[in-house]
Amino acid sequence: MAEMTLDDVRTEVRGWLGESWDPELTVAEWWTRLADSGFAAPTWPEQWHGKGLDRGAAAVVAQEIREAGAIGPPAGLGMLLAGPTILTHGTDEQKDRYLRPIVDGQEAWCQLFSEPGAGSDLASVQAKAERDGDEWTINGQKVWTSGGQSADLGMLLARTDPDAPKHKGISYFAFPMDQPGVEVRPLREMTGRALFSEVFFDDARVADSEIIGGLNEGWLVANTTLANERAGLGSGGGGAGGGAFPGTKGGMLEVRVGDVADRIARGGAVQPSAFGRGFDFMRELTEKLGRADDPLLRQRLAELYTLNEVGRMTAARVKAAVKAGKGPGPEANTAKLLMSKVTRLVRDLGPAILGPEGMLSGPDTTGGGVAQEMTLFAPAPSIYGGTDEIQKNIIGERVLGLPKEPGPDKSTPFKDLRVS
């Protein structure tokens, strides 16, 4: 399969879609077909529900799925983060247990990394894991957990050795969310939605066999997750695109897939990937409101178009680096910074085009409320997946070779460090 040309891939996936796409199926039935075909995760190995294709060929698969009017694989953090991390660091038993329900959407994942005292400085996680026979007992708190309310499993970073230096005493667990020791409290944002939550652990349990990548090796494993996150976000957030969310609690599995496809085609809720389509939307809105001759709007639209093109080319560089076995590297950091810039431009452009109407939100307002929602969501992309300042630090240190920020001695045990 790896030797196929892009035209071969296009022909095969088009033929398969012609026989297999059926809007009358439920989302769960469609995802089962997609998972069986390997086209749900085309870059994954054939042994693990993929096709072993490179990213260029995977882009062809995604394009064909879109053009057929079908929906792609499950959106969310299972496909984007947990799957690639387990593929890289998991044992065969773990791959066997976790990958298929990610690909066919039966299980949803969340990322239990950030804590009130550990965001940018993620290696300061304090959630505590204590060994108890074949299990670990978890106590502590996470915050900003996207999709925590509907997740079946979490990628949990917890401290398994407080006597080790901070990067060395962390383990990475595949953590079951449905248990008495877990409380998930949704956090409402200014968009009116509650996309994320706080998660509290009170003597929660996880089996020792669910440590991914080995005891106290969690920092290395977390970096695989973060590299995939940056690469996915920087290339437009569509890495796990598809628009429908997995898991039995998400409430989409039994819905008619044709209805979901129609909703996605009409725009649906604003997702990070919507910012990549922001230019077309803003240009159409400008024309619709008869403002296409306004020189200031034209100038901003041209800037947005230019930045989108730079973003597209940077994403192509990320893909090429990965294909050459070198990435994701610094291109992913610059791509993510660029996405923050595009997001801020879209944030300002919507209200500038709409005028006073830009202050109203909801589907009955001009443009269906999409521009307004983009404005309200805009602060998020420059924070999640590593803030803009942290991306700049990484570029400064790893690309420009500037001296590292002063920090605690890397050999000091975590328990002796001052933490907030």
Q: Cite the active site residues.
A: 229
Q: How far is the CB of 154 from ligand FAD (least distance, A)?
A: 9
Stretch that binds ligand FAD, among 14-22, 107-115, 206-214, 280-288 (CB under 6 A): 107-115
Q: Which residue is nearest to ligand FAD (CB)?
A: 119
Q: Should residue 144 be labelled a site residue for ligand FAD when binding is judged by CB under 6 A? A: yes
Q: Looking at 25, 387, 395, 413, which residue binds ligand FAD (CB under 6 A)? A: 387
Q: Which of 98, 109, 113, 279 binds ligand FAD (CB under 6 A)?
A: 113
Q: How far is the CB of 144 from ligand FAD (least distance, A)?
A: 3
Nearest Cα neighbor of 392 from 340, 351, 334 is 334
We find the least distance from the C-beta atom of residue 207 to ligand FAD, in angstroms, to be 22
Q: Which of 32, 111, 150, 340 binds ligand FAD (CB under 6 A)?
A: 111
| Among 11, 63, 120, 179, contact with ligand FAD (rule: CB under 6 A) | 120
Per-residue tokens: 130? 């204590």
Residues 96 and 216: their CA atoms lie apart, in Å, by 23
Which C-beta is closer to ligand FAD: that of 183 or that of 280? 183
Please report whether residue 114 would count as binding ligand FAD according to CB under 6 A.
Answer: yes
Site for ligand FAD in 3-42 (CB under 6 A): none
Going by C-alpha positions, the residue among 272, 278, 196, 280 that lies closest to residue 234 is 272
Residue 337, token pair as written in the block: 């910074």
Tell the residue number behind the tokens 């997750």, with chain if given. 225
Q: Are strands 153-159 and 109-112 parallel, antiparallel or unpaired?
A: parallel
Interacting positions 162-221 with ligand FAD (CB under 6 A): 196
389 binds ligand FAD (CB under 6 A): yes
| 393 near ligand FAD, judged by CB under 6 A | yes
Q: Does 390 interact with ligand FAD (rule: CB under 6 A)?
A: yes
Query: Which residue has tokens 């947005």?
Result: 304
Is residue 145 a contact residue for ligand FAD (CB under 6 A)?
Answer: yes
- List the end-to-end C-alpha distance of the chain, in Å, as a whole number: 52
- How far apart are the C-alpha atoms of 279 and 153, rounded to whole Å? 36
Would you mind telling me the total number of residues written for the chain in this entry?
420
Cα distance between residue 138 and residue 253, in whole Å: 31
User: Contact at 8 Å (CB) between 200 and 141?
Assistant: yes
Considering only 36-44, 109-117, 165-173, 355-363, which stretch makes contact with ligand FAD by CB under 6 A?
Answer: 109-117
User: In 268-329, which residue ranges form alpha helices assigned H by DSSP?
Assistant: 278-288, 295-323
Asked whether 115 and 140 are in contact (CB, 8 A), the reply is: yes
Tokens of 110: 């969340």
> Which residues in this chain contact ligand FAD in the complex, by CB under 6 A?
110-111, 113-114, 119-120, 144-146, 196, 380, 383-384, 387, 389-390, 393, 405
